[in-house]
Amino acid sequence: MIKVGIVGATGYTGIELVRLLYAHPEAEISAITSRSEAGRPLSALVPNFFALSHLIFQEPSLDVLTQCDLVFFATPNGTAMKMTPELLNAGVRVIDLAADFRIKDIATWEKWYAQTHACPNLVAEAVYGLPELNREAIKQARLVANPGCYPTSVILGLLPLLEKQLVDPTCLIADTKSGVSGAGRAANVATLHAEVSENFKAYGVSGHRHQPEISAILNSVCSAEPAQVTFVPHLLPMNRGIHATLYAFATNQTEDLTELYRERYNGELFVTILDSGMHPETRAVRGTNQCVISVNRVSKQQIVVLSVIDNLVKGAAGQAIHNMNLMYDLPEGMGIEATGLLP
């Protein structure tokens, strides 16, 4: 059994990690940590975990976490980097669900996250944990940077077009919408029910922290000009889900795009390609590790890709467990092959 620790198990992604790992046949949750809730049972904070009263929050100390084989950080940006060097030195593998190791350019990271990186020497080693792109490197990794939720939906949606140089990389538009859980569990006036319900708004139009992450990964697969993405996120009045509508201008007008996507993602457990003209829905992936995509040529020049995920599963905890499975040579779908929840 893999002894797993979860730092930050009080937030939505940490809670989702507990939910999925509890049913994982090869993982044992040996530590959950929270500075503010140390000494309290998890079930006292999360009512759906009434059967997990044996899980007690502890202080996130090295003494506790070095007893684990793998530690997940479901914490705010800037937390994992402070403990990761000691954990790696102790032989503990790390998957960070925040942004501490996603961006390779340290100056860019420090600009967007407004803090000095605590262990820049480890950033180059960290593997970007998108299995559909970096599977072999993830298998050998001791430090994985789990992708952001928005970037997962955007990158998977655009990857086949850019790899085959079928679109103009300098004119990409990512019009994205997320459920409220993407903003985290902390109290915030902007995410109160009365503020979000019956409302729809954009945010971060002048610049969002996921922009450099998206650009860097898409640039890594562009062999021609650098990718330039206009990324605009929106907040939806629902709990879970991301819907990304992606626009690109075609440089090849004859390619069968649906077939291209099916070939690119052939054998991928967690990417489903719909027929052209179909419209994926966020409710279809609720509670799953799936990314469902349809690609549509709406004119000779215009391509529209629709990409949906559950932001807490494929966009966070489920993808992190997929990475764990790869790191420990387990079946990739172990513990994360559930179908969607309806209604």
Among all residues, which ones are annotated catalytic?
A: 149
- The gap from C-alpha 293 to its chain's centroid, in whole angstroms, comes to 16
Residue 142 and residue 184: Cα distance in Å, rounded? 27
Residue 74 and residue 72: Cα distance in Å, rounded? 6
Give the angle 33-36-42 at the CA atoms, nearest 5°. 50
For residue 343, cis peptide bond before it (omega within 30 degrees of 0) = yes
Residue 250 and residue 61: Cα distance in Å, rounded? 52
Count other Cβ atoms within 10 Å, centred on residue 76: 14
CB under 8 Å to 5, separation ≥6 — which residues? 29, 30, 31, 32, 33, 64, 65, 67, 68, 70, 71, 72
HSE, side-chain direction, 13 A CA sphere, residue 113: 24
Residues 319, 8 contacting (CB under 8 angstroms): no
Report the SS3 class of residue 307.
Answer: strand
User: What proportions of the chain, in percent to the nearest 5, are helix, strand and coil?
Assistant: 35, 20, 45
CA-to-CA separations, 16 to 23, 207, 290, 311, 336, in angstroms, rounded: 11, 28, 15, 11, 11
Residue 68 and residue 91: Cα distance in Å, rounded? 9
State how beta strands 302-309 and 242-249 pair. Answer: antiparallel
